[in-house]
Amino acid sequence: MKNKKVPQQGLLYPHNKIPLIRKYHQRSSLSTYALADIYTQLSRLEKTAFSGQQAYNMLTISNGRIQKKLQQLQNYLKLGYSISDAGFMAGIFSSSDHDLLHIGETSGKLALIYQQLADYYGDKAKNHHQIKSQLLLPISIFILALFIQPISALALGEITVWQYLFISLKPLFTLAIIVYLIINLPYWFTIGQLHFFGLSKLLFKIQLTFPLLSRLIIARQTNKFLHTLGIMLSAGIPIQQVLPNAVMTIDNPLLRKQFNSALLAIMYKQSLTQALTNISAINNKTLQQIKAGELSGKLADTLLHITKLGHEKINLQDNLLAEWIPRIAYALIIIWLASSILTSYTQNT
């Protein structure tokens, strides 16, 4: 059955056609590693003339949960949905990935989009793996210390085996819960399940005002915006159509609001450089490069070059983070061990 084509009017798909599935900033239900693997396989299959449902049938995935997601995608494809919509409804594609894949389908450059997403998630997976591997040793030392500390009380018969396990495991579970909440609460309170508490505006404002955090978030989200814009333009879609979708990839709505003037300027046929001139998130160096790209007629290539350099800078930041997180973990473990020894000593004296 032929996949449904979405008319290119306004935004790159008609929201009123699929109101039940479209939510901006929906995250993929799959891990970064799984997405990197899927997009890499799809890119290879697309280049070898296997496309559409055939390509998804040929994916080699061992994880049962992911296989169920892919089966849901294939069921939607059989019903006539496009690849981007089917994957979005199955929870495989995020909102921004959905838009990029839709561009690939309508422009006939799906292999290019697959490769871009494979590179993007591949880099993220590499950074995540580096951080995890760096944390493996301090976490192991911490767990070992948890079990060593109360062992003397167990040997002296002051506590039972069950009390020993409880004393040893309680801090570990407590720490795991705290880390889990730190990672997920910002998303839950802003656009996730706890959005109804009304704290989203405050958290989004903190993201843009907290000194170090704001620079990191603005740099990453504007780089993602320019990267999406570059991919869409390279697919041959007019700037008037792609700019609204590229702006919507910016997760922070307060930062996204800054680009409203750019949307209006593009509607009045101004250049991209003119449209972005008064936006503080875009620095002068980037504006000059964009202007050069427009004058040379190679705007898409220029944007992709800018974002490649930006991505390399972000990777350096992630690598630095991967180096410092274990150091901080070691410092916390030393402080915890020292405080435990001092507490034990004062109790005994």
Q: Which amino acid is at 158?
A: E
pLDDT at 286: 94
196: Cα separation from own chain's centroid:
23
| 301, part of any domain | no
Q: Is residue 216 part of a domain?
A: no
Q: Which two tokens stand for residue 227?
A: 């990267």
Question: What's the pLDDT score for residue 134?
Answer: 77
Selection from 49, 31, 33, 42 nearest residue 84 by Cα: 42
Among candidates 252, 261, 162, 148, which has minimal Cα distance to 201? 252
Give the domain extent around 115. 32-119
| 74 within 8 A of 56, measured Cβ to Cβ | yes
pLDDT of residue 262: 92
Q: Cβ of 247: how many Cβ atoms within 10 Å?
A: 20
* Per-residue confidence (pLDDT) for residue 7, from 0 to 100: 35
3-state secondary structure of 135: helix
Best CA proximity match to 282, nearest among 320, 317, 250, 319: 250
Residue 61 covered by a domain: yes
Domain contains 110: yes
Which pLDDT score, from 0 to 100, does residue 225 have?
A: 92
Produce one character per residue of 263-302: b if its CB has 16 or more CB atoms within 10 Å, e if not: eebbeeeebbbbbbbebebbeeebbebbbebbeeeebbeb
State which amino acid sits at residue 212: L
The predicted model scores a pTM of: 0.72
The per-residue pLDDT for 231 is 85
Model confidence over 18-38: pLDDT tens digits? 333 444 457 777 888 899 999
User: How many domains are there within the chain?
Assistant: 1
Q: CA torsion angle for 45, 47, 53, 55 (degrees, to 10)? A: 0
In a domain, 127, yes or no: no
Distances in Å between the Cα of 125 and the Cα atoms of 28, 60, 186, 218, 228 are: 14, 19, 21, 21, 19
Could you tell me if residue 243 is inside a domain?
no
What is the per-residue pLDDT for 339? 77
3-state secondary structure 321-338: HHHHHHHHHHHHHHHHHH
Closest CA to 15 of 244, 240, 235: 244
What pLDDT sits at residue 51?
65
Confidence at residue 87, expressed as pLDDT on a 0 to 100 scale = 92
CATH number at residue 66: 1.20.81
pLDDT attached to residue 13: 41
pLDDT for position 9: 35
Specify if 66 maps to a domain: yes
Tell me the two tokens of residue 187: 């998303």
Which residues of the chain fall short of a pLDDT of 70?
1-25, 51-52, 344-345, 347-349
Residue in the block written with tokens 């990839």: 249
Please give the DSSP secondary-structure letter assigned to residue 91.
T
DSSP string, 156-221: TTSS-HHHHHHHHHHHHHHHHHHHHHHHHHHHHHHTSTTGGGS-HHHHHHHHHHSHHHHHHHHHHH
The reply to whether 22 falls in a domain is no
